[in-house]
Structure 1
Amino acid sequence: MRFTPDTLTLLRHPALRTLLGLGLAASCLNTHAARPMITDDARIVDAKACQVESWVKSNKGSTEYWAIPACNFTGNLEVSFGGSAINQNGSTQNQSYVIQGKTLFKTLEPNGWGIGLAFGNAMQPRSDTERHLLSSPYAYVPASFSFKDDRFVLHTNVGWLHDKPNNRNRATWGLGSETQLAERTWLIAETFDQSAGKPFYQLGVRHWLVPDHVQIDTTYGNRFGSGSEERWISIGLRLLSVPFLP
């Protein structure tokens, strides 16, 4: 690894050193995010406001259609519930659902850091032909670190997932970044692991059509070393409201 002055500045961030240490510890013992990232951020929807994240993910041999609404009713608890339909060979094969809560212990500020806790349950069919759903509970700690007045933000996740279909517990982790390219455009890059085998990676761009209210994005992702078998392309739309809840 080449240590540039910017790299050394990142490593001197005391909270970042602590979280990277936790991440290494979790990996030796061996996760939902703002579109289009899988690695979650230490942010939540504004108090009394809601958002809807929707996207299409094209895999080899199948297409996923996702929509996940979320609202912040209390000021420090974002609750989301949504799901997906998977189209394979011209017909919908199965549907899955996710419900999640996320709260913050420290709010992310420019040139500062934030940390929170997310917990939820992912539900999926036992097989393509059965309607009975298997629940896979999970929890993770999202932490975010802001640099250069929010023009570069680093995110880390360390967590746990109970893989019900395979009846085993898994450690999960993620490391991602947001880099501002223009006033409304951001580059995202991340690597993460939520299953057995080699980690995944994803690269993409998000752009605000209406700042803080309407966002579009696109990504390319794959598993390291898997060739074309597990690659995907996604296109997403994110809508955020003004505060309106009582």
Structure 2
Amino acid sequence: MKLRRPSAAACVVAALFVASPAHAIRPFITDDARVVGDKLAQLEMWMLLDRRVLEHNVLVAIGPTDWLELTAGFTHGGVHTGPERGYSITGPILQGKALVLPARDNGWPGLAISIGGLPPLGHGAFTPPGWSGFAYAAVTESLFEEGLLLHANVGISIGDDGASTSSHGVEGADGRLRTLVTAGFGLQARIAFGLHGVAEIYRGDPYDPRTDFPAMQAGFRYIFSDQVQVDGTVGSTLTAVRGAGGHAQSEQWGTIGLRLVTPELW
């Protein structure tokens, strides 16, 4: 399983020193240097479909302050081929994200630090083989009044890569504890009105130590308002990975997602 913050994705920016409401990142893997906002909550949901699985991913975040974001989520869905065919669910994933420095348009980039983990709980093929944890730094540069947003991440993911199903139908390797360096670069560019193009290239997902391959995604994000936006992506691994039955091949997928943000809660 891999929760795709999706997003999976790809964002930013404070005017002068004040952060405005956050934009969704998942299903992009490369995160932004931003938090949901003081007294706000957000719901991110997205579907991921590939040749082996159909996943529904859910992340709920709340901002107790203007610099801290707390997130919990889960993944469920079905494996539609192979011996693991059937319904599966896993979670919760738990994450804390701190905004260290808000981004300034056409100025210095923003910086955020995230840390979290996922227990080996669930049912079916998505159940992780063991505990996993992650930490990463996210940097975002905003240009042209958020017309172009650039994101870069670097971090580590530690956990068991044993026999269970990662996103894109990739099977775990050999059941050993792994420490992976994760990295990604993404961008969001305004096209017209609320429509934005998004793209990223990354290696490894902080949420899943089994996904140590390089991959890329591209798609769109339509921002109706600070409270509502939708997105869609297509992606592919850049190398062959071990899939169903142990066969090595590249994997492709598609996603569609929705993100909602509340008014101030208190």
Deviation at 1:122, TM superposition (A): 2.4
Instruction: Identify the range of structure 1 (219-228 vs 229-238) with the bigger mean alpha-carbon deviation.
Output: 219-228
Contact 1:97 1:124 survives alignment (8 Å): no
**Aligned letter for 2:231?**
D
Runs of 4+ in 1 over 3 A off after TM superposition: 123-133, 195-198, 225-229
Match of 1:60 among 39, 51, 66: 51
Counterparts of 1:131 and 1:159, CA distance in 2:
23
**Aligned letter for 1:154?**
L
Counterparts of 2:90 and 2:153, CA distance in 1:
26
When you count helix as a share of all residues, which structure comes out higher?
Answer: 1
Counterparts of 1:217 and 1:196, CA distance in 2:
23
Q: Identify the residue that residue 146 of structure 2 maps to in structure 1.
A: 150
Deviation at 1:96, TM superposition (A): 3.5
Q: Identify the residue that residue 99 of structure 1 maps to in structure 2.
A: 94
1:236 counterpart = 2:257? yes
Unaligned runs of 5+ in 1: 1-32
Match of 1:199 among 202, 214, 227: 214
Normalized against structure 2, the TM-score is what? 0.73
Instruction: Identify the range of structure 1 (77-86 vs 194-203) with the bigger mean alpha-carbon deviation.
Output: 194-203
Map 1:8-23; keep pairs closer than 5 Å: none
Match of 1:182 among 189, 192, 212: 192
Normalized against structure 1, the TM-score is what? 0.79
**Aligned letter for 1:98?**
I
Counterparts of 1:85 and 1:104, CA distance in 2:
30
- How many residue pairs match? The answer is 212
Contact 2:221 2:232 survives alignment (8 Å): yes
Contact 2:214 2:239 survives alignment (8 Å): no
Contact 2:189 2:198 survives alignment (8 Å): yes
Deviation at 1:43, TM superposition (A): 0.6
Percent of residue pairs bearing the same amino acid type: 29
Unaligned runs of 5+ in 2: 1-23, 162-175, 205-209, 241-247
Match of 2:34 among 8, 32, 43: 43
- Residue by residue, what CA displacement relative to the aligned partner does 1:189-245 show, whole Å, maximum 9, x if unpaired? 101111565411000101023x11111111001111449741110000000112123
Counterparts of 2:29 and 2:126, CA distance in 1:
28
**Aligned letter for 1:47?**
D
CA RMSD of aligned residues (A): 2.3
